[in-house]
Amino acid sequence: MTAELITGISELTTQAAEFAHDDDRLTDAALVIENGRISWIGAAADAPATDTAVDVGGRAVLPGWVDTHTHLVFAGDRAAEFEARMAGQKYAAGGIATTMAATRAASTADLIGNARRLRREAEASGTTFLETKTGYGLDLTSELRSARAAAEVADVVTFLGAHVVPPGLDRREYLDLVTGPMLAAVTPHVDFIDAFCETGAFDVEESREVLLAGRAAGLGLRLHGNQLGFSGGVQLAVELGCASVDHCNHLQPADIDALAGSDTVATLLPACDLSTREPFPPARALLDAGAHIALASNCNPGTSYTGSMPFCVATAVLQMGLTVREAVWAATRGAARAVGREHGPDAVGSLTIGGRADLQVLDAPSVAHLAYRPGVQLCLATWTEGVRAAR
């Protein structure tokens, strides 16, 4: 049982109230990792003797990013669609069928290989915990294959059979498939069920039917809502007690009030908003009203082909009116809440005694540099359950 001391920490962001000093950050700090867990946190001057020590040389340490919205199981890319969008074409859900065709045609090894490549990219920028979804298979065999692939690559898996109705299929027949045999097949491999509640995908009643079927099968609930318009998704997510409603670009005051009065996290996806040219969600209004928010990358080939959480954090600060502290919280502990992992022995997104040693070192003295030096690769190293990877 090797104890490893991490010392020389100029600023330690724990996201744990019991260590909240001055804005939740400790200065001149150190911590000890044993058996994948944190066994000690405190002032560097008081650090205990350990078997090994790493001096990070006056740099910032914080929890690894918790990315709770990605779609990594796919094949192909949609650069041409992106280029057309940047030339003025509006995003609609139609491109999902392009990725569906490429995904069905790909081998399982290629699907897993691509998802692993994207996970590695995310890890290189500090992600230590990641959710991913099905949703580009859209028939029973392909969704099951996607669910199994997702379970090999991600920490949390979401079933998104209700992404769109695949071309040529009757809506009612497809909904019966998703809520019946497809759900039964994927349930052993997934943690959550999701639906894309939007014009061009599924309406509120259809989304409700999908989520209730998932709940009956024992899955947690999450929802894509209010991305392209006032879809009613946010109200549905709150009504059903979803862990998270994701996107939230178009909110009316009643949606903000509903979120503020609920435990449902509004997961905001800044990289997607830039790539689709949708208005940013009213993040400031959500926080000021008392709603819980998270930030996620939404890495996928259609609307957000990046797994960079630092890019999302910087955008949230520079474009969405969040403070650095709020954005870092939303990408760590706030995100953990969106997948039900904020508390308990398997908690992620915070650094506590006895908790998972999932952390990152920045090549910077403080987390402010994440937004102050946007676009710069600052992640120097991560520890995931105590295992170090240099970047």
**323/291 Cα distance (integer angstroms):** 16
Any known ligand binding at 224? yes
DSSP count for the chain of H helices, then E strands: 15, 15
CB of 83 vs ligand NIG, minimal distance in Å: 15
Any known ligand binding at 343? no
Nearest residue to ligand NIG by CB is 302
Any known ligand binding at 227? yes
CB nearer to ligand NIG: give 199 or 377: 199
Q: How many CA atoms lie within 13 A of 308 on its CB side?
A: 16
Give strand pairing partners of 294.
267
CB nearer to ligand NIG: give 56 or 195: 195
**240/59 Cα distance (integer angstroms):** 43
CB of 100 vs ligand NIG, minimal distance in Å: 9
CB of 93 vs ligand NIG, minimal distance in Å: 6
CB nearer to ligand NIG: give 96 or 339: 96
CB nearer to ligand NIG: give 155 or 198: 198
Any known ligand binding at 298? yes
Give burial (CB, 10 Å; 0-12/13-18/19+) of 279: exposed
CB nearer to ligand NIG: give 207 or 300: 300
Any known ligand binding at 247? no
Residue whose entry in the numeric block shows the structure tokens 């952390």: 359
- Beta-carbon contacts of 263 under 8 Å, excluding residues fewer than 6 positions away, are 241, 292
Name the residue among 36, 115, 25 with its Cα closest to residue 74. 115
- Beta-carbon contacts of 249 under 8 Å, excluding residues fewer than 6 positions away, are 226, 227, 228, 273, 278, 279, 280, 281
**125/46 Cα distance (integer angstroms):** 31
Q: Which parts of this chain interact with ligand NIG (CB under 6 A)?
A: 71, 95-96, 99, 196, 224, 227, 272, 298, 300-303
CB of 209 vs ligand NIG, minimal distance in Å: 18
Any known ligand binding at 71? yes
CB of 160 vs ligand NIG, minimal distance in Å: 8
CB of 382 vs ligand NIG, minimal distance in Å: 25
Six-digit token string for 67: 């990315």
Any known ligand binding at 226? no
Q: Which residues are annotated as a binding site for Fe(3+)?
A: 69, 71, 224, 298
Q: Which residues are annotated as a binding site for 4-imidazolone-5-propanoate?
A: 78, 136, 163, 227, 303
Q: Which residues are annotated as a binding site?
A: 69, 71, 78, 136, 163, 224, 227, 298, 300, 302-303
